[in-house]
Amino acid sequence: MVPFAWIILVSILLFALGAIALITRRNAVAALMGVELMLNAANLNFVAAWRYYYPDHLDAQVAVLLVITIAAAEAAVGLAIILNLYRRFGTVDLDQIRLMRG
């Protein structure tokens, strides 16, 4: 079987990719996708930890189901707000939306 450390490494990589997407992409929807990627990196970590170390406990599986549900709710609310952002500003480019600074 693949060593556990590799899976942790992949999940850290996935998390970093999500974070990079969040920082570099100026499109609000793409930034939200970065957040989803970060959440899924955590899920991968949970599942791997369950499979390798604690196969007798169901904690991790329940946690993953919980996260999937919550991420869906968050995406739904987030997209609604971004839709409204588009209606107000005519764009979803985060660089162009700067009414407040100081």
Partner 1 sequence: MTWADLPALYPMLIPAATAVLLLLTLTVRRDARLAAGVAMAGFIAGLLALAASAAELSHPVTMLLTVDRFAVVFWGILLFAGLLVSVFAVGYFRTLREPREEFYLLWLLAVVGAMVMAASAHFAAFFLGLELLSVSLYVLIAYPRMQSRAVEAGVKYLILAGASSAFVLFGMALTYAATGTLTFAELFTHLTLFPGDVLLLGGVVMILVGVGFKLALVPFHFWTPDVYEGAPLPVTAAVATVSKGAAFALLTRLLLGVIQAQPGHSTLAVIFTLLALASMIVGNLLALAQGNLKRLLAYSSIANMGYALTAFIAGGDAARVAIPYFFAGYIVAVLAAFGVMTQLSTPEHELQEVEDYRGLAWRYPWSAALLTVALLSLAGIPLTAGFLGKFFVLTAGMAAGRWTLVVTLVLTSGLGLYYYLRVITALYQAPLEGEQPTPPPLHLPHRLSVLTGLALAVLAALLLLLGVYPSPVLHLLAWP
Structure tokens at 32: 């939200």
Q: Does 2 bind partner 1 (CB under 8 A)?
A: no
Q: Provide the mask over 65-84, with x wherever binding to partner 1 is found by CB under 8 A and - wherever it is not.
A: -xx--x--xx--xx-xxx-x
In whole angstroms, what is the distance from residue 5 CA to residue 45 CA? 10
Count CA atoms closer than 13 A to 86's CA, side-chain side: 10
Does 102 contact partner 1 by CB under 8 A?
Answer: yes
Q: Rounded distance, CA 38 to CA 40, Å?
A: 5
**Which letter does DSSP use for residue 96 in this model?**
G
In the complex, what is the shortest distance from the CB of residue 78 to partner 1, in angstroms, rounded to a whole number? 5
> CB of residue 2 vs partner 1: minimum separation in angstroms?
15
Contact (Cβ atoms closer than 8 angstroms) between residue 94 and residue 28: yes
- Total residues at interface with partner 1 (CB under 8 A): 50
Q: How far is the CB of 92 from partner 1 (least distance, A)?
A: 9
Q: Is 93 in the site for partner 1 (CB under 8 A)?
A: no
